[in-house]
Amino acid sequence: MTNTLHRFGDAESFHDDVIVFAMCAKGLNDDGSVPRLKRFLSLALPFKPVNMGDGAKGGSMRPNHHLNPRAHWDRDRKPDFQVVIDGLDKAGTAAVVFDNRQNAMNFVRAVKEADLGLCVNISTSIEGAEQILEEAGLCRHSVNYSLGFQGKTEKLPNSQVLTLSTMCGHGMISNSMAKKMIDWVKEGRRTPEEAVSYLARFCVCGVFNPVRAQRVIEDARTKMK
């Protein structure tokens, strides 16, 4: 079970969304795990991740305590991967997000060769995960399926809002905030890049995919729904 399991969308919508994360089990492989988790994150850097995170301290686009009233206009929106790697100081979960399946596969292959002794999971479409594993020379251990939303689904927000809000599996990106960012972009009050950077800072574990989010917002602006 993973908080990345319930991202909204059909299989095709995950062509630019792959999360690879590592974790350790208390009392089994957590002894000395911090250097191994740091190594896991460092191995991703050559393969152009779009986000990464430490489950305890946040992602590469995290909030900053030193803000001023102009922060929303001139703030640096680039992800800081090194701050995630340097800040990881206890056993937990380390996640890396890719917008390119080939890059994710190359990373998985590098992790396999490093033999870090960590549990590694891939979240994307079933077909995408199978392709990555096959090309990396690995066999799938198990699979988790999300059964989607049940009940009075007519009361749910539209698909674009759900796609954005469910990219934070801990529910830290509200549907209202996602809708607000879509509306602001439609109104020309923010660019898609700015809107995505705001949303990403709420995802405390760093699994939000800014590339997929920007695609969704651009699509919403184009179709004007």
Q: Whole-angstrom Cα distance, residue 121 to residue 108?
A: 10
- Looking at the DSSP bridge assignments, the partners of residue 98 are 18
Domain span at residue 165 reads 11-140+153-223
Q: Which residue has the tokens 């709420």?
A: 202
Is residue 6 one of the residues assigned to a domain?
no
Residue 147: inside a domain: no
User: Is residue 36 situated within a structural domain?
Assistant: yes
The tokens describing 77, both together, are 């929106």
Q: Would you give per-residue pLDDT tens digits along the chain (225 residues)? A: 578 888 999 999 999 999 999 998 888 888 889 999 999 999 999 999 999 999 888 889 877 666 666 665 666 678 899 999 999 998 889 999 999 999 999 999 999 999 999 999 999 999 999 999 999 999 888 898 888 888 998 999 999 999 999 999 888 999 999 999 999 999 999 999 999 999 998 998 899 999 999 999 999 988 754
- DSSP E strands: which ranges in 17-125? 18-23, 51-54, 58-59, 93-98, 119-123
Total domain count, the chain: 1
Q: Is residue 185 part of a domain?
A: yes
Q: Is residue 1 part of a domain?
A: no
